[in-house]
């Protein structure tokens, strides 16, 4: 198979979908790898390293789209990229379609086979390709939230860890999954007073246990959410429903109960956000203020730590990419339920039910067409 990787063009997206070592692995399996010029430079990988691995360096993105049977990316394609796909082409990347009907319709019209990193799912319900990015985003959420709590950035002027004789900053984390757990770890490590909320009692018991009762673990009831909103300096939105749009747990009216200069970091924004007032932002303009509450809603947070994030992401995507390239998508999906779960689009049909339900579009059972 001819496998292509293009330079990401989303604002301040520095990751790359294939590293030189990944390229070498595809080539060892008998595939041809096409890399766009300077595709990996922002993640620390030079064209010379790709050449040494055996990849072909192409300076024309359109040529890669025209010739390759599979395109491996990091983020969902932008409109100018959607025009370059051809029918039947495999796209292997993060898609996050549930919150983006325009993109979904464009890719359906293109007739591609879209395999979404975020919906590849194991038998025990784990999301192995989303996990490392969720770990990074969870940790970054505290790092970024702490920065924007500083007064020059519009925040309350609170140091999360405080100092002796001064009250610690208060952090609330909505969701105790991978993002939430990593946010709790970072906030606790900085010395903040941390509360985590979830509807899964088992997760709350787990976090209470590993932190030895030194954090507060609350059931995510409406009353508890209202309570922590009034108390918190920093709120982390870490809610995830597999492949579906995130629920709005924080409404516009709730903001008036928060402290002036409090910060919201909505990590769920690429799935629509769990705060009603959230909207996607970029690294060059990451925040906006509504009702005196600072909103940080960067939809590609891990792109800021491109080297770490690229290594973490490609470390888990490679085996699935190789299986697709080795067997073809249809055979790979028939033999591997995890890959089948990742197929959101198949030749102008929407094959992931949660996305279809959220967007009000027709759903097609993948098993009936492959």
Note the pLDDT of residue 212: 96
Q: Which fold has domain 2-111+305-368?
A: Rossmann fold (3.40.50)
Number of H helices and E strands in the chain, helices first, is: 13, 15
Note the pLDDT of residue 53: 98
Name residues whose C-beta falls within 8 Å of residue 187's C-beta, 6 or more positions apart in sequence.
142, 160, 171, 173, 194, 234, 236
pTM above 0.85, yes or no: yes
Write down the catalytic residue from 32, 47, 233, 270: 270
Low-confidence ranges of the chain (pLDDT < 50): none
Q: Where is the binding site for NAD(+), in residues? A: 134, 198, 203, 220, 239-240, 267-270, 298-301
Note the pLDDT of residue 99: 86
User: Using CA atoms, how far apart are residues 102 and 203, in angstroms rounded to an integer?
Assistant: 35
Under CATH, which number does the domain 131-304 receive? 3.40.50.720
Write down the catalytic residue from 31, 32, 96, 266: 96
- 31 belongs to the catalytic site: no
Q: Which residue in the block uniquely carries the two structure tokens 């492949």?
A: 243
Structure tokens at 168: 């610690």
Name the phi and psi angles at 12, rounded to 5.
55, 35
- 358 belongs to the catalytic site: no
Q: Where is the binding site for substrate, in residues? A: 15, 75
**Which element (helix H / strand E) includes 113?**
strand 113-116
User: Using CA atoms, how far apart are residues 185 and 188, in angstroms rounded to an integer?
Assistant: 5
Q: What is the DSSP string of 268-328?
A: GGGGT-SBTT---BBTTB-EEEETTEEEE-BTTGGGGGHHHHHHHHHHHHHHHHHHHHHH-
Structure tokens at 2: 């001819």
Q: Range(s) for CATH 3.40.50.720 in the chain?
A: 2-111+305-368, 131-304
- In order of 23, 98, 299, 318, the CA distances from 29 in angstroms are 10, 34, 34, 12
Q: DSSP 3-state assignment of 129?
A: coil
Q: Which residue in the block uniquely carries the two structure tokens 């599979």?
A: 70
Q: Where is the binding site, in residues? A: 15, 75, 134, 198, 203, 220, 239-240, 267-270, 298-301, 323
């Amino acid at each position: 198979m001819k496998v292509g990787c293009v330079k990401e063009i989303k604002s301040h997206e520095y990751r790359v979908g294939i590293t030189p070592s990944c390229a070498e692995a595809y080539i060892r399996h008998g595939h041809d790898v096409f890399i766009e010029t300077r595709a990996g430079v922002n993640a620390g990988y030079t064209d010379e390293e790709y050449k040494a691995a055996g990849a072909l360096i192409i300076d024309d993105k359109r040529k890669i789209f025209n010739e390759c049977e599979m395109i491996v990316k990091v983020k969902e394609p932008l409109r100018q990229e959607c025009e370059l796909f051809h029918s039947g082409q495999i796209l292997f990347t993060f898609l996050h379609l549930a919150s983006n009907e325009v993109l979904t319709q464009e890719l359906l019209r293109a007739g591609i086979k879209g395999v979404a990193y975020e919906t590849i799912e194991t038998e025990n319900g784990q999301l192995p390709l989303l996990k490392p990015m969720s770990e990074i985003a969870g940790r970054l959420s505290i790092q970024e939230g702490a920065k924007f709590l500083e007064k020059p950035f519009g925040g309350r002027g609170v140091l999360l860890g405080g100092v002796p004789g001064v009250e610690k900053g208060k952090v609330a984390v909505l969701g105790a999954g991978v993002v939430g757990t990593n946010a709790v770890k970072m906030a606790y490590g900085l010395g903040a007073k941390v509360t985590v909320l979830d509807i899964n009692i088992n997760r709350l018991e787990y976090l209470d246990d590993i932190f030895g009762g030194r954090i507060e673990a609350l059931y995510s009831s409406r009353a508890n959410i209202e309570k922590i909103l009034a108390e918190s300096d920093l709120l982390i939105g870490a809610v995830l429903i597999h492949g579906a749009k995130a629920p709005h747990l924080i409404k516009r009216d709730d903001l008036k109960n928060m402290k002036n200069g409090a910060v919201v970091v909505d990590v769920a924004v690429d799935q629509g956000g769990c705060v009603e007032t959230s909207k996607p932002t970029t690294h060059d303009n990451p925040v906006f203020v509504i009702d005196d509450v600072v909103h940080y809603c960067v939809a590609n947070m891990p792109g800021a730590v491109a080297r770490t994030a690229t290594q973490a992401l490609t470390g888990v995507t490679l085996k699935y990419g190789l299986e697709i390239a080795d067997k073809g998508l249809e055979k790979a999906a028939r033999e591997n339920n995890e890959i089948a779960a990742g197929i959101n689009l198949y030749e102008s049909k929407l094959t992931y039910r949660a996305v279809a339900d959220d967007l009000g579009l027709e759903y097609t059972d993948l098993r009936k067409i492959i």
